[in-house]
């Protein structure tokens, strides 16, 4: 599996992960803004709630697909235990936070899809779930891509 990931990324696994995760983070921020419009919390003259909701779903599908690919790269190349072990010393805390927030993000994505598709009676929790997803992904990004870009 590591050879496959190396081949797909041309040996630049961390760099590709950083770019893709940053794209997902930027889209996630856009998603929050779109839902603020959809729920009427933010009123703009050029976008109505119905269009904002449609775009939120379309962009969300694409962002989740990219996010799942990033998770696949991360898990197949670094693993969970190996990732933390690899980042020994001062980096252990950061790696642990990354693994925990990333795993919880995947759980939150699954929960949101279940609520949207099958468990609509819990629809009132969707804003909280969405903000939880955004927060968890932000933490996962800060402790990996953000650290790679600014932490050295």
Partner 1 sequence: MGRVNVATAPSHRAQLIGSLVAAVLIVAIAVTAVTLAIGPGLDATELRERQELQEERQEQREERREEREG
| Chain contacts with partner 1 (rule: CB under 8 A) | 10-12, 15, 18-19, 22-23, 25-27, 30, 34, 45-48, 50-52, 54-55, 58-59, 62, 145, 149
Select 22 or 103, whichever has its Cβ closest to partner 1: 22
User: Minimum Å distance from CB 34 to partner 1?
Assistant: 7
User: Minimum Å distance from CB 93 to partner 1?
Assistant: 24
26 CB neighbour count, 10 Å cutoff: 11
CB 144 within 8 A of CB 98: yes
User: Minimum Å distance from CB 11 to partner 1?
Assistant: 4
Tokens of 15: 């760099």
User: Minimum Å distance from CB 31 to partner 1?
Assistant: 9
CA 55, 116, 29, 50 torsion-angle sign: positive
Select 45 or 81, whichever has its Cβ closest to partner 1: 45
User: Minimum Å distance from CB 2 to partner 1?
Assistant: 13
Select 1 or 149, whichever has its Cβ closest to partner 1: 149
Select 26 or 114, whichever has its Cβ closest to partner 1: 26
Interatomic CA distance for residues 143 and 105, integer angstroms? 14
Give 51-88 as a DSSP string.
HHHHHHHHHHHHHHHHHHHHHHHHHHHT-SHHHHHHT-
Going by C-alpha positions, the residue among 70, 57, 77, 75 that lies closest to residue 4 is 77
Select 18 or 101, whichever has its Cβ closest to partner 1: 18
């Amino acid at each position: 599996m590591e050879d496959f990931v190396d081949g797909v990324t041309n040996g630049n696994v961390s760099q590709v992960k950083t770019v893709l995760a940053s794209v997902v983070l930027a889209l996630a921020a856009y998603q929050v803004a779109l839902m603020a419009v959809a729920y009427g919390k933010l009123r703009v003259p050029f976008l109505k709630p119905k269009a904002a909701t449609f775009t939120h779903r379309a962009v969300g599908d694409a962002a989740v697909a990219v996010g799942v690919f990033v998770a696949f790269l991360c898990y197949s190349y670094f693993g969970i235990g190996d990732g933390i072990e690899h980042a020994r010393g001062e980096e252990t805390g950061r790696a642990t936070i990354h693994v925990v927030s990333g795993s919880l993000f995947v759980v939150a994505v699954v929960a949101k899809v279940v609520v949207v598709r099958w468990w609509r009676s819990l629809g009132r929790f969707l804003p909280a779930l969405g903000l939880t997803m955004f927060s968890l992904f932000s933490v996962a990004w800060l402790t990996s891509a953000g650290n790679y870009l600014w932490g050295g």
